Amino acid sequence: MNEKNDINLALHDATGALLMLNKHERRLLKELLDMTLKSKNAREWIVKKLGSEYIEIGEGLLKAMGRK
């Protein structure tokens, strides 16, 4: 395997350890998180599907993204 392929594999790592978002993607994610966390039904679904800690993760992410 050559060096170029090694780099491509690193960028497509399934762990999601590093995710670069452009301005438009950040804006969309921020709006989706804000809307989702304001919805009682969406919050209940997240808790049921992923666990209550994911509500805190979402709130922390939204705060880090500059929640108003």
Q: Which domain holds residue 51?
A: 21-68
60 lies in some domain: yes
pLDDT of residue 53: 96
13 lies in some domain: no
| Number of domains comprising the chain | 1
- Per-residue pLDDT of the chain in tens (68 residues, 90 and over written 9): 444 444 444 445 566 666 677 888 889 999 999 999 999 999 999 999 999 999 999 999 899 888 76
11 lies in some domain: no
66 lies in some domain: yes
6 lies in some domain: no
Give the integer Cα–Cα distance in Å for 60 and 64. Answer: 6
pLDDT of residue 11: 47
Q: Say what the pTM is.
A: 0.66
9 lies in some domain: no
Token pair, residue 58, equals 């979402």
12 lies in some domain: no
- Rg of the chain taking only CA atoms, in angstroms: 16
3 lies in some domain: no
Half-sphere exposure for 20 (CA within 13 Å, toward CB): 2
